[in-house]
Structure 1
């Protein structure tokens, strides 16, 4: 029976059987840390990989470090151990048995240091040179293992004594782990290290924490310990080296402390991502994510797998103050450990102000030729008009629950109808608000049922004159739900009245409607030839339209443009009431000149489908006058012209 088996007889038979396999495993653990050129008293044991407070194997979690000093100056070597699940579970009565060894001849021979049986060792060199140290420990109750390789061994650390102090000119601080858990039963720990410049500086390093209530640090060993009260935050661990001449050098590193998850804040409509923090030796065997709805302590599983990150669906105001946490299981061989993170809070930033968008498209169902979405250019009496569109509240957190539509329509229209989401709705009598008439449906738009709704407005035009009108869709917004709002609509809720209790009104784009008389009309301008004398005889005088207008101003609003001709005749000669002026009056169109008589002459022809335009000097269309070489009596002479417009079906 081996010493290892004997050391566990008091624990019991079950412990005896399992412990044999455990210590055999310690014998074959791979070497991961040893002095580069010095062989230790024993083979250094593999550093244990850890998951929070659970170690995959027993070994040194803090190794002694190489250091420099001066003769007669004490340096302290420090270690710490971690225990596997097997040791802590099956050997509950066992405890550590430490022993330090030293070598004065670069590892050729090793001797046990009398009384050096704790995890720390104070070394005070008596001469210049390097001494090597290694620590072993056994984990047992009374009876120690019989063979050296059944113990655990640290790395070999050197202590070099210098003849005189070497001052540090710089220091760099590092940490084994930058995240420690504070919400578990055992305190999370890590170790900080100081790298001095130069490497053989003999100065001492002292450690301090910016927030001991969050995480403490041993001033000598650099072991950082998190709180166990669940407090979270970031502690700055400072390393200060004090030289023999009194000068100091300082550097620091930050250690974050918490329960594994940070609270997240996102804008409504965005996703939030929670990530489990900390160092894990391997991919978790399982990670299960839970959500607690706002105001509830009942968790709901939202994800499972092995991912240490969880991204929520798109958030809304309803998710504000929800909490998320994860259960993480790590396995090592046949053993496993599960921890639960803190419940991190989700903060959703949102606004309840509606983001209303109203679209509108107009169509002349009788003849839509030449029209655009927001404008009908030639509406005539009898045309059937529709305006369709959508109403969308782009804010999913909006306080608006319902809306009332009001559609501005022309004063002269008939057969009015409105439908919302494809359902026809009854209308109140057209309401005059200011200078306009509105159609007001009795059915509210229900935004609790959906964020986007459709509408359709239809009417027949009765307008027979040339005029312009702007139609539009307005909506009053309410926090009252649609069913309650519908009950009061017929009685006292009319857009723009003092009885309204809405909190805002939204307006869609204007729809321009140009109404036409469906006719072709013309207005002739008066033409003057100015003051003439005998000097103007036989000269061609160009007439000028008074006021600079058109010779013939034509408005062609006909929907069906039949072939059209415009004829002109000189109905009367030039006369001042007593005398007749002998003169020749002609019509010029830029390319030809026609002398006018008392008989109609065609001066413009427009084919079918062609819009007739105005006649003016810009197009070379004008009247010309030539005075005959005869007696001229002074006076104001006028002549009457007849314009005839003929449209042939």
Structure 2
């Protein structure tokens, strides 16, 4: 079969080179073997990157005299649509009555094929395959559906149970998938009816073909174009359901202080992320990220709750780059009821000449330099943060105490008096903390709001001391977060 396909394709290619015209060739004849089914189409946001069948004919059981309808739907890929606008495809139905050994053409030019089930005295199987036949200019090959088996029985076999499954756990906007039902007994002939919990999000037809709605143009994250839809199959009073996730992006809910990640799952081959965008109060901000996921770090109720996110995807058609937007998804940040000190700073005040300190006071600026050591257990970017996601409780107060400086080897040395000037101009924070291990109040809040300070511009004030000893000195700042009784 593979050899025949290669010869067939070579022949068509030569025909195109000589004449400039390609005609779809039917591979089935009265005595031909079945064709392998075409791979499912790649569709995202309604764009068909690769053609194929979006709906396959399904297996079914019927009794003699039933009207049986098989259905299939195909799609042309985007390249074919753009380069061959005058071309067309038609549906051709093939049937086998000898167990799939030979096939005969039984219908054409319709997405459905209907027949009356023949009279039988024992279960009899018929096989059907649909061909999506290409006719037009260009080198595009015929598509083939799966082979569907229709079993005809002489009398009704009631359904006693049903189990529903989906071909895919999730689909992007504008895409399709198929749900199917396994009946008990397997020979049950009762029909199956399909329903969707949210038809405007994803509809399901009588054949179990599920189609997702297109992505909304709204960037609020609240449009009904993403979420979970439940598809239910019912036969003879028995029902079962399956959940399908619709949309490229889903809403994310986190507690304040946690990270929130939006993820594009199973991005189709040939599509790449051009950029991510954040929407807040209608204002759109480019996030300069081409990853398949985007993380919002340390979320806050005030800054992140109610924002939405979407991505722009790029794909190439006939050498030209095209773009399409995903749906927008909403970020919800809940107060978690926690009060926590989430970040404290390290300080490095550099060096000063001993001769200078013998006669003069000195103010050493924080160098914001990454340093390691036993006294360094915070961050090197000046971040001092308190998270408060409570809804009840008393005011919180942050204090700091500075221990006397000692040499790095643990000996006392001799440095004189030192004072840490904790300074953040944007938050109007300017507190002096002496190196006497005395708690100094830094900030008090009564609004159940966390605070973020940047104390990079802090300094260390040293007094002159004629007995100063040279060496590397270090100290420890102890931060205390406390709550007054409410």
Question: What's the TM-score once normalised by structure 1's chain length?
Answer: 0.47
- Report deviation, 1:474: 5.2
**1:369 equivalent in structure 2:** none
Distance 2:191 2:319 in 1: 44
Which residue is 1:313 aligned to?
A: 297
Residue in structure 1 matched with residue 412 of structure 2 by the alignment: none
Q: Distance between the aligned counterparts of 1:354 and 1:267, measured in 2?
A: 13
Distance (whole Å) between structure 2 residues aligned to residue 112 and residue 255 of structure 1: 36
Asked if 1:74 is matched to 2:45, the reply is: no
Residue of structure 1 aligned with 2:244, choices 238, 255, 261: 255
Cα distance change of structure 1 residues 97 and 286 upon mapping to structure 2, 3 Å threshold: closer
Q: Is the 8 A contact 1:401 1:447 kept in 2?
A: no
- Partner residue of 1:156? 147
Superposed displacement of residue 327, structure 1: 2.0
Match of 2:131 in 1: 136
**Does 1:234 pair with 2:228?**
yes
Match of 2:86 among 78, 87, 93: 93
Deviation at 1:161, TM superposition (A): 1.3
Change (3 A) 1:110 1:285: closer
Q: 1:559: which partner in 2? A: none
Give the superposition deviation at 1:173.
1.2
Describe the SS at the equivalent of 1:96: strand
Q: Provide closer, same or farther for how the CA distance between residues 403 and 130 of structure 1 changes in structure 2, counting only shifts above 3 A.
A: closer
Residue equivalent to 1:272: 260
Q: Deviations over 1:188-241 (max 9, x none)?
A: 3222111222222222111111222322211x2111222335413322111111
SS of 1:286's equivalent?
Answer: strand
Unpaired runs of at least 5, structure 2: 1-8, 217-222, 345-382, 390-394, 401-416, 454-479
Q: Secondary structure at the match of 1:199?
A: coil
What whole-Å deviation, never above 9, does each CA across 1:378-419 have from its counterpart, x for those lacking one?
xxxxxxxxxxxxxx9641679x999999xxxxxxxxxxxx98
Q: Name the CA shift for 1:396/1:41 in 2 (closer, same or farther; >3 Å).
A: same
Highest CA radius of gyration, 1 or 2?
A: 1
Are the counterparts in 1 of residues 398 and 482 from structure 2 also a CA contact under 8 Å?
A: no
What residue is the counterpart of 1:328 in the other structure? Answer: 313
The 3 A distance-change label for structure 1 pair 134 and 267 is: closer
Residues 375-394 of structure 1: pairs in structure 2 closer than 5 A: 394=385
Identify the match of residue 122 of structure 1 among 96, 102, 114.
Answer: 114
Q: Name 2:209's counterpart in structure 1.
A: 223
Deviations 1:47-84 (A, max 9, x none): 23313234444332322223221111122211111211
State how far apart, in whole Å, the 2-side matches of 1:163 and 1:352 are. 68
Cα deviation for residue 250 of structure 1 reads 1.2
Superposition CA RMSD, Å = 4.9
* Cα deviation 1:432-462 (Å, max 9, x = unaligned): xxxxxxxxxxxxx75845989661177xxxx
Which has the higher relative contact order, 1 or 2, with Cα contacts under 8 A spaced 6 or more apart? 2
Relative to structure 1, the CA distance from residue 338 to residue 45 in structure 2 (aligned partners, 3 Å threshold; closer, same or farther) is farther
Aligned to 2:289, the other structure's residue is in SS state strand
Aligned to 1:637: none
Instruction: Give the distance between the partners of 1:193 and 1:170, measured in 2 at CA.
Output: 14
Matching residue within 97, 107, 110 for 1:104:
97
Q: 1:157 to 1:349 in 2, by over 3 A?
A: closer
TM-score (norm 2): 0.61
Q: Deviations over 1:458-491 (max 9, x none)?
A: 7xxxxxxxxxxxx865567379x99xxxxxxxxx
CA distance in 2, matches of 1:253, 1:159: 24
- Which residue among 239, 262, 272 is the counterpart of 1:286? 272
* Other structure's SS at 1:158 match: strand
Deviation at 1:253, TM superposition (A): 0.9
* 1:289 shift after superposition: 3.7
8 A Cα contact 2:341 2:387, kept in partner: no
Alignment of 1:175-254 (within 5 A): 175-182=166-173, 187-218=174-205, 220-228=206-214, 229=216, 230-231=223-224, 232-242=226-236, 248-254=237-243
* Alignment length (residue pairs): 366
In the TM superposition, residue 323 of structure 1 has moved relative to its aligned partner by 3.2
Which residue of 447, 455, 461 corresponds with 2:433?
A: 455
SS at structure 2 position matched to 1:98: strand
CA displacement 1:163-195 (0-9 Å, x = unmatched): 22222222221222333444xxxx332221112
Q: Which residue of 1 aligns with 2:158?
A: 167
Residues 507 and 189 (structure 1), Cα distance of their counterparts in 2 relative to 1, 3 Å cut:
closer
Alignment of structure 1 residues 369-380 onto 2, 5 Å: none
Cα separation, 2, equivalents of 1:105 and 1:56: 37
Change (3 A) 1:318 1:214: closer
| Structure 1 spans left out of the alignment, 5+ residues | 8-12, 29-33, 243-247, 359-391, 406-417, 424-444, 459-470, 483-504, 509-649
